């Protein structure tokens, strides 16, 4: 479990553990994942969904413990810091630490319930990659998720797509990149320049991440 006192020390201005209620509802895109590390495909997908669906913001919500992955995670502090570095030049990208502060296994349905309770005036759009679209029916309470948020799929050309729930498809540049591949590149000494934002690359190098 992530210690809250550790997270509170993260020097990130845009990361907020609580959602402020507003009088006027907004169209909010939600992107979840481990972001271990965040890379350009994440950012491109978020930008394409935001502009094509005319969303007000996209919120990046890093998992605490992902329910469908077994790979060891970099610390919450490092993943959150890299997300902030990657998004701080876009005023419509926000980083939210809801799942890190909640602790335990991160389930999207729990996060959406929290958001709907605390800011019901907003409309939420859950942005998923093609692989997530295909596995969505295996998530915890997918029917409830589909009631609380509009499902958005980032279409990947040539990738088998079998959605079992209604969703909106968004076309985006076909950037076949994964956090797993980036971690392997770092471990083997291969350059990741231009695969992640430069500030993220510098952070990984400075902290010595993904070398083990």
CA distance 100 to 122: 22
- HEC assignment per residue over 147-172: HHCEEEEEECCCCCCCCCCCCEEEEC
Burial class (CB in 10 A: 0-12, 13-18, 19+), 68: exposed
Per-residue model confidence as pLDDT tens digits over 82-137: 999 999 999 999 999 999 999 999 999 999 999 999 999 999 999 999 889 999 99
User: Residues 64, 102: contact at Cβ < 8 Å?
Assistant: yes
Q: Other CB atoms closer than 10 Å to residue 202's CB: what's the count?
A: 12
User: Residues 25, 122: contact at Cβ < 8 Å?
Assistant: yes
Confidence of residue 71 (pLDDT cuts 50, 70, 90): low
What residue segments make up the domains of the chain, in order of their start? 26-207
- Cα end-to-end distance, the chain, whole Å: 22
Per-residue model confidence as pLDDT tens digits over 41-64: 999 999 999 999 999 999 999 999
Strand, coil or helix: 66: coil
Query: Which residues are 62's β-sheet partners?
Result: 33
- The fold for domain 26-207 equals Rossmann fold (3.40.50)
């Amino acid at each position: 479990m992530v210690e809250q006192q550790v997270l509170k020390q993260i020097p990130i201005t845009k990361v907020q553990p609580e959602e402020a209620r507003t009088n006027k509802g907004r169209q909010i895109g939600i992107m979840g994942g481990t972001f271990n590390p965040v890379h350009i495909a994440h950012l491109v997908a978020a930008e394409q969904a935001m502009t094509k669906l005319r969303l007000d913001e996209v919120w990046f919500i890093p998992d605490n413990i992902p329910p469908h992955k077994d790979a060891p995670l970099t610390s919450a502090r490092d993943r959150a810091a890299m997300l902030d570095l990657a998004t701080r030049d876009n005023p419509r990208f926000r980083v939210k630490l809801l799942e890190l502060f909640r602790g335990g296994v991160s389930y999207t349905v729990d996060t959406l319930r929290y958001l709907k309770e605390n800011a019901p005036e907003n409309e939420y759009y859950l942005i998923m990659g093609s692989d997530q679209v295909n596995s969505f029916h295996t998530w915890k309470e997918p029917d409830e998720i589909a009631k609380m948020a509009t499902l958005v799929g980032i279409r990947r050309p040539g990738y088998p797509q079998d959605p079992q729930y209604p969703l909106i498809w968004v076309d985006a540049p076909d950037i076949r990149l994964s956090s797993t591949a980036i971690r392997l590149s770092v471990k083997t000494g291969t350059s990741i320049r231009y695969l992640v934002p430069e500030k993220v690359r510098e952070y990984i190098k400075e902290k010595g991440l993904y070398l083990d």
